[in-house]
Structure 1
Amino acid sequence: MEQPHQPMSPKPVVISSTTSHPLTNDPSLQSTWSHRAWVAAGCTTVIVSLAKCISQATIMQVSFEPVFAAWLGYMLADLGSGVYHWAIDNYGDESTPVFGPQIEAFQGHHKCPRAITRRQFANNLHILARGVTLTVLPIVLVFNDSKLLGFVGVCSGCIMFSQQFHAWAHRTKSRLPPLVVALQDVGVLVSRSQHAAHHRPPYNSNYCILSGVWNEFLDRHKVFVMLEKIVYSKLGVRPRS
């Protein structure tokens, strides 16, 4: 006698970070020991740079110049985050040398913006931390100028943590630490409302993800539109946005 057909139990599915509802147990969102090691190295590099800056400034009895250099580092980091974000949002693909993985990740981020809030800390920062360690650590070890160290320490630290600031801009206010909310509200970190504008059509504004202080200037003066025209006139490549 033929046995009735028994339906097979469904296999568990892990939804990737590029779909609309990523799961927290997605391996691509979890930190590895390699990620943690690079973030530890990057943080150590920044701390050593700032510690040497303070030490040298104390020895030389200077105060204004290192502070001003640190402020310039903060401002340049925000501008750099916008230019870099614009570039990988609009040009290249996953096969692009060196930058391919980040281009693919940012394209996935546009498909599922809140996936970044489910990334573990070191997973989110390790690429930038590796870049900071490899480029900044030699400078920190060789030079003793307090102005240079202040600039490099703050700029590299802000660049490394920009992805965390970016993640906070995607979280709801109720799930953020009060200090983070306060820093967003006063403009030290990019606000949730300002960054939300980047994720609305036509997706071609508010590229800066550190403090967002440059966004109004860049968008009002159509800086990226002009850059896109230059790229198109020289290379014949249209921006994705």
Structure 2
Amino acid sequence: MYTLPQNHHIHHAASIGHHNRRHNHHVVYCAATTPMKTRPKLEPLVINTTPLITPPKSDDPSLKSTWSHRAWVATGCTTVLASLASSIVGSYDSHIWVEPILSGFVGYLFADLGSGVYHWGIDNYGDASTPLVGSQIDAFQGHHKWPWTITKRQFANNLQALARVVTFTVLPMDIIFHDQPVISGFVGMASGCIMFSQQFHAWAHGTKSKLPPLVVALQDSGVLVSRSQHGAHHRPPYNNNYCIVSGVWNNLLDENKVFEALEMVIFFKFGLRPRSWSEPDSDWTEATEDSLITTSIP
């Protein structure tokens, strides 16, 4: 149907009707006018060109160490060594050795426990916008997706964030407790293990044949977190084996459901649900190097 001006259309219909009456035919015509609809304005098609999130390649600058990273690691190591040196010198001057050694061992255990608590916290709460630790939360979630990328990070790049924290917290302690060998022993060992925990973590993702024999020996003896123990953290249900220094606390914490109890307390107190209560989706669970290579082949 097409549209004619209304008056002309009615006159045309009337003329046809008058002509038909002379031939004794009655024909009825229905005339209607349809208003023209405005054609919708088509917006230009916009295609989302945002690239898919992919793991960094081995030559990605984000995995490389910068001079700033190296400076922070050097400063952190200096503060740790200063604590240990103060403990050794103080022990020699005061002729006590057992207490500083025991305090150092307690610091080693404390570092493993602290790494587990911190790891559990950033795995389950907060996001990239969280103040102070948002970048680490985001990095750890990416680590769950592509855990093997930590083995491609250069040494200073991997340790620089913790080295900064150690520098600002341990340096004042070195000044205050320089004549306290027991305290210095604890601080030196705890801060050193905490700073190097990310390297222990990286070794736990390494291939045995590519790791230094000494590292493998320390892993097998339980001094450092083993590859098999930490590997369980990256398998369902993704809510255990959080400690990454030696892993000595993992069985105790998991068997007694310590973190599950803390999650319940936080939920009833603040209404916050941990990520471990939800089934991990494909944006969080592990993707292997082989799967990425397969999908990248046309």
CA-to-aligned-CA distance 1:20-49 (integer Å, 9 cap, x gap): 5x3211111111111110000000111111
Residue 177 (1) aligns with residue 212 (2): yes
Q: What secondary structure does 2:196 align onto?
A: helix
In the other structure, the counterpart of 2:112 is 78
In the other structure, the counterpart of 1:145 is 180
Partner of residue 94 from structure 2, selected from 38, 54, 60: 60
Partner of residue 199 from structure 1, selected from 206, 219, 234: 234
When normalised by structure 2's length, the TM-score is: 0.74
Alignment of structure 1 residues 1-241 onto 2, 5 Å: 19=54, 22-143=56-177, 144-241=179-276
| The structure with more radius of gyration | 2
Q: What secondary structure does 1:74 align onto?
A: helix
Structure 1: 5+ residue stretches without partners: 1-14
Paired AA for residue 217 in structure 1: L
Give aligned pairs, total.
Answer: 225
Paired AA for residue 82 in structure 1: G
* Structure 1 residue ranges (4+ consecutive) displaced by more than 3 angstroms after TM superposition: none
Structure 2: 5+ residue stretches without partners: 1-50, 277-298
Separation in 1, partners of 2:143, 2:171: 30
RMSD: 1.2
Identity level (%): 66
Separation in 2, partners of 1:97, 1:190: 29
In the other structure, the counterpart of 1:12 is none
Paired AA for residue 202 in structure 2: A
Shift of 1:201: 1.1
Q: Is the 1:19–1:112 contact (alpha carbons within 8 Å) kept by the matching residues of 2?
A: no
CA-to-aligned-CA distance 1:71-91 (integer Å, 9 cap, x gap): 000000000000000000000
When normalised by structure 1's length, the TM-score is: 0.91
Shift of 1:19: 3.1
CA-to-aligned-CA distance 1:106-153 (integer Å, 9 cap, x gap): 000000000100000000000100000101011112221000000000
CA-to-aligned-CA distance 1:182-218 (integer Å, 9 cap, x gap): 0000000000000000000110000000000000000
Paired AA for residue 201 in structure 2: H
Q: What secondary structure does 2:223 align onto?
A: coil
Paired AA for residue 174 in structure 1: S
